């Protein structure tokens, strides 16, 4: 039995040759980022889980179309993102994305004072409200890059747009968010 390959390209090549254990490893490696990608698009944990699962099934069926030497992660995330978009479109509903800002731990593990914790929580809620007030286009690109910490390439694959478009949308979205934050702080 072969040892666990560390190279994704090798795993995909084995899966293309019919090695189901290799594809199971691919699913395990990518299931979290696939779920997060689908969640950004659907705004629903249940829909995201279904879209990720369906995306993995479609990717398995499309393994023959995967080009050797190509980056597997963007290819797979594009399939998952397309499945998530199809799910939203076919349901005919528009979900409001609920982003959760992770609590930022203080250096050295020191617990913040109750006052500081309350202020930080209030700041996170205010920022979340401002992000949710942005257009879908702006919210999705900010969520992908900063909340899900996807790379530019992964964000492009997840949203189905060129990487250059991700950069320009992100720049404009951050400018709009900055204006909103300044408006709240100033008024």
pLDDT tens digit string along 97-140?
444 444 444 445 556 677 777 777 777 778 878 888 888 888 88
pLDDT band, very low/low/confident/very high, at 79 (cuts 50, 70, 90): very high
Per-residue pLDDT band at 1 (split at 50, 70, 90): very low
Domains and CATH numbers, the chain: 8-91 (1.10.1740.10), 107-186 (1.10.10.10)
How much is the pLDDT for 146? 82
**How far apart are alpha carbons 149 and 153 in whole angstroms?**
11
Given pLDDT bands bounded at 50, 70 and 90, which one contains residue 95?
A: very low
The whole-angstrom separation of Cα 43 and Cα 45 is 7
pLDDT (average), residues 78-106: 62
Alpha carbon distances (Å) from 141 to 86, 148, 172: 18, 10, 10
Give Cβ neighbours of residue 87 (< 8 Å, ≥ 6 apart).
42, 47, 50, 51, 54
Helix (H, G, I), strand (E, B) or coil at 97: coil
Angle between helices 20-42 and 45-61 (to 10 degrees): 140
In angstroms, rounded to a whole number, what is the distance separating the alpha carbons of residues 84 and 48? 7
pLDDT of residue 91: 62
Q: Specify whether the CB–CB gap between 96 and 42 falls below 8 A.
A: no
> Residue 94 — very low, low, confident or very high, per pLDDT cuts 50/70/90?
very low
Whether this prediction's pTM lies above 0.85 is answered by: no
CB 82 within 8 A of CB 160: yes
CA distance 17 to 25: 14
Q: What is the mean pLDDT of residues 138-160?
A: 84
Residue 90: pLDDT over 80: no
Lowest-confidence segment of 10-24, 62-76, 86-100 by average pLDDT = 86-100
User: DSSP secondary-structure letter at 107?
Assistant: G
pLDDT band with cut points at 50, 70 and 90 for residue 80: very high
pLDDT tens digits for 44-68?
889 999 999 999 999 999 999 988 8
Which pLDDT band, with edges at 50, 70 and 90, does 39 fall under?
confident
């Amino acid at each position: 039995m072969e040892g666990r390959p560390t190279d994704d390209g090798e795993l995909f090549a084995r899966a293309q040759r019919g090695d189901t254990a290799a594809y199971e490893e691919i699913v395990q490696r990518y299931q979290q980022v696939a779920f997060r990608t689908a969640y950004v698009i659907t705004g629903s944990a249940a829909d995201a889980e279904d879209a990720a699962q369906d995306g993995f099934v479609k990717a398995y069926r499309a393994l023959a179309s995967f080009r050797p030497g190509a980056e597997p992660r963007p290819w797979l995330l594009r399939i998952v993102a397309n499945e998530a978009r199809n799910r939203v479109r076919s349901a005919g509903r528009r979900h409001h994305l609920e982003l959760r800002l992770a609590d930022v731990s203080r250096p050295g593990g020191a617990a913040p004072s109750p006052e500081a914790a309350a202020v930080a929580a209030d700041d996170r809620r205010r920022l979340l409200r401002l992000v949710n007030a942005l257009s879908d286009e702006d919210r999705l690109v900010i969520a992908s890059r900063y909340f899900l910490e996807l790379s530019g390439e992964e964000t492009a694959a997840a949203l189905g747009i060129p990487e250059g478009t991700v950069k320009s949308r992100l720049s404009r979205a951050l400018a709009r968010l900055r204006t909103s934050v300044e408006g709240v702080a100033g008024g």
